[in-house]
Chains A and B, each alone.
Chain A
Amino acid sequence: MLDRVRTVDAGPEIAFTLNGRDVAVVSSPAARLTTVLREDLGHTGTKVGCDAGDCGACTVLLDDEPVCACLVAAGQAEGRSVVTVEGLATHSPNAERLKAAFLSHGAAQCGICTPGMLVAATALLDRNPTPTESEVMDAIGGVLCRCTGYRKIVKAVLDARATPAQADPPAAGKAVGARIARLDGERKVSGTEIFGADAWPADCLVVRAVRSPHHRAGFTFGDIDAFVAANPGVVRVFTARDVPGENRYGVIPPFADQPVFAERAARFRGEAVAAVVGEPAAMAALDLNRFPVTWQELPANTTIEAALAEGAPLLHEDRAGNVLVRGRVVRGDVEAALAAADVIAEGEFETGFVEHAYIEPEAGFARRVGDRIEIQACTQAPYMDRDDVARILGLAPEAVRIIPTAVGGGFGSKLDLSVQPFVALAAWHLNRPVRMVYTRPESIMTTTKRHPARIRARAGATREGRLVGLDFFGDFNTGAYSSWGPTVANRVPVHASGPYHVPHYRALTRAVHTHLVPAGAFRGFGVPQAAIAQEQLYDELADRLGMDRLEFRILNALAPDQPTVTGQVLGEGVGIRACLEALRPHWRRAREEAAAFNAAADGHLRRGVGVAGMWYGCGNTSLPNPSTIRVGLKRDGRLSLHQGAVDIGQGSNTVITQICADALGAPVARFDLLSGDTDVTPDCGKTSASRQTFVTGKAAELAGRGLRRAILRLANAGEAAEVVFEDGAVTVRAGDHARRIALADLPLDAHGYVLTGEATFDPPTSPLDADGQGIPYAVYGFGVHMVEVEVDVELGTVKALKITAAHDVGRAINPTLVEGQIEGGAAQGLGLALMEEFHPGRGENLHDYLIPSAGDMPPVQSILVEDASPVGPFGAKGVGEQALIPTAPAILNAIHDATGARIRRVPATPDRVRAAILAAKSARG
C-alpha cells in the first residue's frame, strides 16, 4: 500500500512541453501554473489579473484547449503541452494573422489582456476558420478587457483570415490624421511588453502589507520580533516609525493626508498598518492572519449621511463636519429664473463606488542605488510619484528615480501611489531590491474609486424650449483621504450644466470624508455622475414641452459666442451643435425602428432610444499643468523623442510622435521613443484630465518646430525649406538648392544630440473667483451619444443594441486610436449605467464586481467631428474622458424611452429596472 502511495506522489520536478519544447522545473506541484510559467520559467507573457478565473488574462492552451493557467496546478501540466503567447506563432499560423489584425484594427490598447485574447482567438480559428460574430464572442467572452470595449477585438478576429491591407507608413508631414498602428503595438501582441509585475531583479525580496479588516479600527502590535524570528525567510517588518521622512502623501500636496502606515487608527478597510518583507518563497507561504496585531473595531461613518451627521467622528481633526472641500459656480439668479420658468424638472440621483478594474493589479519593485532610490512600477504620473516618494523617504526629489513600466490600464487610479511607498521604504532600509504585486482583492479594497454621488437638481425652461436655469447640489463620498476629492468637487460645478447655454445657474458641491476606501480620479472626475442627473432632467423638460429630445438639445447647444456657466466665451472650437446635428439622421432612423419593433411586438421586449450630451475641459482646472517635450537629432540621423506622457493604453506614444513628426517634417519611422523615466525624460505631467494629446501634444508640436528651425539655421535656410532626414545626414532643400549636412562629425549639445528641440506648454487659464467665474480650461471637448436598447420588461434586463457616438475632437490625430477611446469609454459608461457598483467589504473580486464582457458591448458607430481648437496641436482636443460621460445618461434615457421608467440610482441592475417598471406601471394606474 505505502509503495503505491509513493509511486503516485508527484516529485518536485515537473516536466511538460512548453511552446513545443520540453521543459522541466522544480516546483511545488500544487503551485498555480501561472506562477511556474512566470516566476520559474520567465514566461511573463501570460498575465495574472485575478487568480480566480474571472478575467482570463492568463489564458493558455493546455493540450490545445484554452484554460485559465491560474486554475491549473503545475502538477496537472506534467506530460502535457502548454502553449503561451510567446509560442503562439510557432503553434499556429493563425496567431500571426491575429497579431497583424490586432495591430491594424487597434485591438490592443494597454495590452494586458492581449495575450489572453490572442490565445483564446487562436484556439477558435484553429478549430473554426470562419467563425460568426457570436462564435467569436463565445471564444473571447472569458477574457475581460477594460480598454477597448471589445468591438475592435471582435472585428480583428473576424478579419484575421482576410488578406491584411498593409497600409504604407505615412510620408513625412502626413502623420497627423493617419490611422497608423500603435508604435508600441508589436510588444503588446508578442507578449514581450513589460508591465509592473513582469520584471524584477534576481535577488529581489517581496513585501506584503498588513491591512485593516475593519472600516475603522484602533490597533496594537504584539511581539513583532518574535514573529520575524518564528518565520524563517522573513527579513523585517516595517511600521509607521520606520518612515524616515513624512508619513504622509497625496496627489494634491496641500491636501496630502494619507499615511504609508496608519499610526493610531486605520481609517478604512484595507489601510496598511505594517509591511512584512522577506524571501519570495517564505512570503508566498506566509499567513498574514498570524501577524501580531490586535484590532479594536471603532464606529465608522460608512455613508455621506452618517459623516455629515451632528457629532459624527471626524476623519481629520482640521476638516470640520468631515467636509474636505466645497465647490461653487454661480451665475445669474437661478431661483428667480426657475420661479419664472414655464416647465420644471427635478430629481434626486445616486451613484455608487465604481472600481477601475484595470486587468493589471498594481505592481513594481524598488532598488537602492547608493543614496538614490529607483522605482520601476506601473503609474500614470511618474513625476508626482517621484515627489511623493521623496517626501516619504526624506530625500530630495532628484534622489528618486521613477521608471514607469507599461501600464495595464489606469483610468485615473494609477495616478495615486500604491506599491511605491512600500517597495521604496523596504529597499531603502534593507539595501536590497524589493518587489510588490497587489492581489486582485488588495487592488479592489485599497486603491481609489469613482466617487459615489448624491445629487439633487432642478432645471427649468421656457415654453419655447429654452433652458433658463439649473440648480444643482452634489455631495461626493471622498472616502478616508483626500486623493482627488478637491478636483471632483471643483470640476463638477464647472460642468454640471452640460454643453448647453444655461443663463442662470448654481452648482454647489461637497467632498465628504467617510471611513471608506478613498475615492479619487476615475475618467471624468465626477462629471459622469453629474451628467446622469442633468441629462435625465433635460430629457424630462423636453418631454414636458412635447419637444423632440434631440431637437431640445440642439436648440440649447452652447454657441461659440455664448458664455459658459463660468462666464468664459470660447469663440472657436465649440462643436456641440455639430455633434448633435450629426446624430439627426441616426436619431430618426433609430426612433422609427424602435417604434416599429414595439408596435409589432406583443411580448416582453421593448426597445427605446436615448441621447445625452457632454462637454469636458481638457487639463487641470484653473491650475498650471505644463508638459515639456524634448526631441533630439542623433548623429545617425535618427530622432530621439523624450516622450514622458505615460501611455496607459490610450496611445500617447503614438499620437505624440505623430504630432512631433509633422511639426518637424520627419517620418514617424525615424523616431526612437524614450519613456517617462524621470532621469531621462522631462516632465509631461500626469496622464489624466484628457490632457496628453492636448497639452503634451502641443509641447511636442512646439519642440518639433523648434528642432526644425534649428536645422534650418544650421543650413542657413529659410522657413519654407524642406528638411529630409537620412541615415547619418539631413538634407535641406530650398528651390533648386540642396544642402546635405553630415551629422557624424558635428559636436553634441548638453543633451548628447547634434541638435535638440525642447518646448514647454502650459494651457492658458485663469483662476475662478468666489462665484466660480473665470477661465478654467483653454479647451473643451464635446460629444453626444445615442444608445438603442432593448429591455426585457418582465426581468428588468437591458441589452444595448447599438451606440452611435459623435465627438468633437478638434482634430483626430489618429482616428483609429480616437475610435478606441470612444469605444472603450462607452464600455465603461455602459458598466456605470448597468452593472458596476463596489460595496466596500463585499465582493472584492471580479466575479462579484462586474464589468462588461465581450457579449455586453454593442457595435459602436463613431462620428468624428473636427471643430479645431485654436490652442491644441493641429487643432486637437482630448477625448479620453469625454468618451465615457454621455453613455450612462443616454442608456438611462433609452430605458425610459422603452419602458416609461426613470432610473435615478445607478447601476440600473435588473432588480432596480424591474422595480422601476412596476412602480411606473402602478403610477400610471
Chain B
Amino acid sequence: MYLRPVTLDEAVDVLATHGGRILAGGTDFFPALGDRQPAGPIIDISRLDELKAISVGPEAVRIGARATWSAVAAAPLPRAFDALKVAAREVGSLQIQNAGTVAGNLCNASPAADGVPPLLALDAEVELSARGGTRRLPLAAFITGYRQTAIRPDEIVTAVVVPRTIEGASAFLKLGARRYLVISIAMAAAVVEADAAGRVAEARVAVGACSAVAQRLAALEAALVGAPARPGLGDRVTTDHLAALSPIDDLRATAAYRRDAALTLIRRALEACVAEN
C-alpha cells in the first residue's frame, strides 16, 4: 500500500489507521532497502506542502519536515545557523541535498548524521504530530540511541524548531576521507555568543560521529564562559573536555584517532567563531 496524503490531517489519519513507514526525500529510505522491495504500507509525505516552509519568526525558526538541505542552504537565516548551512552543503552530494530533508536526517538517527551536531548546538526541538495532537521534544531527547528515536508509531515529525534565544557566530567542520559523498569520521559544531565586554557569554559545542549519538560537551561549554572571545579561544579545549565521547574503531578510522581529531575540530570550530575578519 502506497498512500500519498495531501494534508497533514490526512497523513496522521492514515498513519493511525494503517501504520507504515514515512517516505519523504527517500535518501535513507531506499538505500536501507538494498535489493529488497518495501514491505508494509508506505506513507509518502512529499505532497504535504504545509511542511515545506522554513520560517523565521520572532520566537523561533521553524524548519518544516519537508525542507530539503538545499532549501536550508538557500534560506536567509540568522548567523547562528551558519553551521547548519555549512552542514547542509556537506551532506552527501547536491543530488542528496536536493532530495533529503533535515527532519529525515534526524529520524534516521545515524551517529554520523551531519545535521545533528549543528542542531544540538542550537538547542533544536523536534515537533511530532499524531492524530491526538502535537508534542515537542528537545533533539537530545528525540534521538535516544544508535539509529533509535523517541518517535511513536503514530507520529510524524512535522518540523524542527529552533528557539531564537541563541545568537552568535557559528561554525561546523566535517572530517571525511574524501571531498564529496563522504560519511563523517568526526565533526564538530560550535556557536559562540560574546557579551559586550568581548567575553564568551555562552558557548555551545557538539561533536558527531564520536559516540552513538552526537553529544554536547557541557563541561567544555561551562569552561569557556567568561573567556575572551578572541583568537586563541580554541586553546582552552583539553582532552578532559572530551570525556563524554565514546568513539569506536570502524572502517573509517580508529577510536583513538577520532578522539584526537575531535579535539582539533572543536578547537578550529571555536576559532572560526571568534575569527577577526
Contact = CB atoms under 8 A, between A and B. Distances in A.
Given A30-B37, A53-B96, A855 B179 contact: yes
Interface string A747-779: 000000000000000000000000000000000
Contact of B34 (A51, A284, A835, A853): A51
A75 B257 contact: no
Contacts of A848: 183, 251-252
Interface stretch (A211-219, A539-547, A644-652, A906-914): A906-914
Nearest to A63: B98
A8 B14 contact: yes
A66 B98 contact: yes
A54 B10 contact: no
B181 to A, nearest CB: 6
B198 to A, nearest CB: 24
Contacts of A2: 17
B37 A842 contact: no
A910 B264 contact: no
B267 to A, nearest CB: 9
B146 interface: no
Nearest to B179: A855
Interface stretch (B22-30, B56-64, B221-229): B22-30
A287 interface: yes
B98 A847 contact: no
Given A4-B10, A839-B251, A911-B254, A30 B181 contact: no
Interface stretch (A138-146, A197-205, A803-811): A138-146
A555 interface: no
B110 to A, nearest CB: 11
Contacts of B196: none
Interface stretch (B76-84, B87-95, B157-165): B87-95
A139 B27 contact: no
Query: Which of A59, A67, A144 has the most CB atoms of chain B within a 10 A radius of its CB?
Result: A67
B99 A854 contact: no
Contacts of B175: 795, 797, 910
B61 to A, nearest CB: 23
A885 interface: no
A600 to B, nearest CB: 18
A439 B33 CA distance: 12
Interface stretch (B38-46, B122-130, B206-214, B236-244): B38-46
A853 B180 contact: yes
B112 to A, nearest CB: 10
B3 A8 contact: yes
Query: Which of A51, A76, A915 has the most CB atoms of chain B within a 10 A radius of its CB?
Result: A76
A142 B37 contact: no
B4 A75 contact: yes
A148 to B, nearest CB: 16
A284 B37 contact: yes
B152 interface: no
B13 A28 contact: no
B180 A854 contact: yes
Contact of B30 (A71, A75, A139, A284): A71
A53 B34 contact: no
Contacts of B132: none
Interface in A69-123: 70-73, 75-76, 78, 120
A76 B44 contact: yes
Contact of B23 (A73, A144, A285): A73
Contacts, number: 183
A143 B26 CA distance: 18
Interface residues of B, number: 55
B197 interface: no
A847 B94 contact: no
Q: Chain A: interface residue count, which band?
A: 35 or more
Contacts of A4: 10, 13-14
Contacts of A30: 2, 23, 37-38, 42
B25 A142 contact: no
Contact of B181 (A839, A853, A910): A853
Contacts of A850: 177-178, 182
B253 interface: yes
Interface in A137-158: 137-139, 141-144
Nearest to A78: B4
Contact of A120 (B94, B96, B252, B264): B94
B26 A73 contact: yes
A320 interface: no
A923 interface: no
Contacts of A853: 178-182
Interface in B227-277: 251-254, 256-258, 260-261, 264-265
Contacts of A9: 1-4
A856 interface: yes
Given A29-B2, A850-B178, A914-B260, A66 B94 contact: yes
A490 B98 CA distance: 50
B30 A53 contact: yes
B178 A855 contact: yes
Contacts of A593: none
B70 interface: yes
A5 B261 contact: no
A852 B182 CA distance: 10
A75 B44 contact: yes
A911 B259 CA distance: 11
Nearest to B261: A795
Given A141-B93, A847-B183, A910-B177, A439 B34 contact: yes
Contact of A53 (B3, B13, B92): B92
Nearest to B96: A53
A29 B23 CA distance: 12
B172 to A, nearest CB: 15
Contacts of A287: 36
A695 to B, nearest CB: 36
Nearest to B177: A835
A68 B17 contact: no
Contacts of B42: 30, 73
B35 A65 contact: no
A794 B36 CA distance: 43
A141 B94 contact: yes
Contacts of B257: 796, 910-911, 914-915
A51 B35 contact: yes
A478 to B, nearest CB: 23
Interface in A819-865: 834-835, 839, 842-843, 847-848, 850, 852-856
A162 interface: no
A430 B169 CA distance: 68
Contacts of A596: none
Interface string A35-67: 000000000000000011110100100100111
Nearest to B39: A287
A482 to B, nearest CB: 28
Interface string A635-656: 0000000000000000000000
A224 interface: no
A32 B30 CA distance: 8
B5 interface: yes
A71 B46 CA distance: 13
B35 A8 contact: no
B37 A72 contact: no
Given A70-B30, A910-B261, 11 more contacts: A2-B17, A10-B44, A65-B70, A75-B44, A76-B44, A76-B46, A795-B175, A842-B251, A856-B179, A909-B177, A915-B257
Interface of B: 1-6, 10, 13-14, 17-18, 23, 25-27, 29-31, 34-38, 42, 44, 46, 70, 89, 92-96, 98-99, 175, 177-183, 185, 251-254, 256-258, 260-261, 264-265
10 contacts: A5-B17, A8-B10, A28-B2, A29-B4, A53-B31, A56-B93, A66-B95, A855-B179, A856-B178, A911-B185
Interface of A: 1-2, 4-5, 8-10, 28-30, 32, 51-54, 56, 59, 62, 65-68, 70-73, 75-76, 78, 120, 137-139, 141-144, 284-285, 287, 439, 441, 604, 794-797, 834-835, 839, 842-843, 847-848, 850, 852-856, 909-911, 914-915
